[in-house]
């Protein structure tokens, strides 16, 4: 191969390299800027095939998709001066490539640092004017909406960034405060349990007293009924005795005397000393003729 052929190939190779170095492609998910000797000459270059001056121009590409950045967990004070550990994240994207590059130099880490600083200040301000209940549940959505709006006003013009969403993932009490809260909750629950026990004992005493009263009333009514029935029985017995005596007085007297003898001389060892003229011995001395005349 001659020197002319080698020179031709070298020239063709140089031309190809120059053509390749003058062409650049911006992906669909990115936007670009062109720098010439470090000076910004073209910004917000959209996706597609583009040309630049070889060697002299430099192309920088930036992802304009939605990005999510976790904020480091930090502690904020509420209006009640109560500390809360807050874990949050932010969703954002590059809105103005020109302003983004001028403010951050195209450094994504710097952009995140500037953005997180604004959000940190915003969270501190919003927590500082709200109570613990409001930031935990009562006004949490309103707090996030206001914070997003305020941060957007600060970073859109300053950094060319739009904040799409700011969300709190978790709000927790610091460990030392959490232990105190748990102890206080346990004390309150124990106090409530004692109140329930006292109320239960009071109700139990009332129930027992009412049961004792009802028992006393029932026993009194039963005793009164028994006495009434006993009186009626004694009355009927007296009437029966009276009828028996009136129908045959002599026999009734004899029968009652025999009953008295049986009870008096129930045991062989029983001994009674009385006058022989006593009426008690009437039927022992004179047999009674109970036959009907």
Q: Where are the domains of the chain?
A: 3-63, 67-172, 212-285
In the chain, what's the furthest Cα-to-Cα distance? Answer: 189
For the chain, the three-class secondary structure string (H helix, E strand, C coil) is CCHHHHHHHHHHHHHHHHHHHCEEEECCCEEEEEEECCEEEEEEECCEEEECCCCCEEEEEEECCCEEEEEEEEEEECCCCCEEEEEEEEEEEECCHHHHHHHHCCCHHHHHHHHHHHHHHHHHHHHHCCCHHHHHHHCHHHHHHHHHHHHHHHHHHHHCEEEEEEEEEEEECCHHHHHHHHHHHHHHHHHHHHHHHHHHHHHHHHHHHHHHHHHHHHHHHHHHHHHHHHHHHHHHHHHHHHHHHHHCHHHHHHHHHHHHHHHHCCCCCCCCCCCCCCHHHHHHHCCCCCCCC
**Residue 278 pLDDT:** 67
pLDDT at 275: 65
Share of the chain above pLDDT 90, in %: 28
pLDDT-based confidence at residue 161 (cuts at 50, 70, 90): very high
pLDDT (0 to 100) of residue 287: 57
- Section 84-104 average pLDDT: 92
Contact indicator for 170, 87 with CB cutoff of 8 Å: yes
pLDDT confidence of residue 19: 67
- Mean pLDDT is lowest, of 135-139, 197-201, 229-233, 278-282, for 278-282
Confidence band for 174, pLDDT divided at 50, 70 and 90: confident
Domain at 67-172: CATH architecture: 2-Layer Sandwich (3.30)
How far is 225 from 70, CA to CA, in rounded Å? 88
Instruction: State the average pLDDT over residues 236-258.
Output: 75
Q: Is the sign of the CA dihedral 209, 210, 211, 214 positive or negative?
A: positive
Average pLDDT, the chain: 83
Average pLDDT over residues 243-256: 73
The predicted structure's pLDDT at residue 293: 43
For residue 110, the model assigns a pLDDT of: 92
pLDDT in tens, 25-75: 999 999 999 998 888 898 888 999 888 888 888 899 999 999 999 999 899
């Amino acid at each position: 191969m001659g020197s002319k052929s080698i020179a031709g190939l070298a020239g063709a190779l140089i031309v190809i390299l120059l053509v390749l170095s003058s062409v650049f492609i911006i992906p669909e998910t990115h936007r670009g800027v062109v720098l010439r000797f470090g000076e910004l000459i073209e910004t917000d270059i959209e996706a597609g095939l583009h040309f630049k001056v070889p060697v002299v121009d430099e192309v920088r590409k930036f992802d304009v998709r939605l990005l999510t950045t976790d904020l480091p967990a930090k502690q904020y004070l509420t209006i009640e001066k109560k500390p809360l550990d807050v874990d949050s994240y932010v969703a954002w994207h590059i809105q103005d490539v020109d302003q983004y590059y001028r403010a951050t130099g195209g450094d994504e880490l710097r952009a995140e640092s500037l953005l997180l600083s604004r959000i940190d200040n915003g969270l501190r301000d919003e927590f500082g004017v709200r109570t613990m209940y409001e930031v935990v549940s009562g006004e949490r959505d309103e707090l996030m909406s206001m914070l997003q709006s305020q941060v957007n006003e600060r970073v859109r013009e300053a950094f060319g960034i739009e904040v799409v969403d700011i969300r709190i993932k978790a709000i927790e009490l610091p460990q030392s405060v959490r232990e105190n809260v748990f102890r206080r909750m346990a004390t309150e629950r124990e106090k409530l349990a004692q109140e329930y026990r006292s109320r239960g004992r009071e109700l139990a005493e009332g129930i027992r007293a009412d049961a004792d009263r009802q028992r006393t009333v029932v026993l009194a009514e039963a005793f009164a009924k028994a006495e009434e029935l006993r009186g009626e029985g004694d009355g009927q017995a007296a009437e029966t005795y009276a009828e028996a005596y009136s129908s045959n007085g002599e026999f009734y007297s004899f029968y009652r005397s025999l009953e008295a003898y049986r009870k008096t001389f129930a045991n062989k060892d029983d001994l009674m000393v009385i006058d022989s003229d006593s009426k008690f011995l009437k039927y022992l001395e004179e047999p009674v003729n109970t036959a009907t005349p």
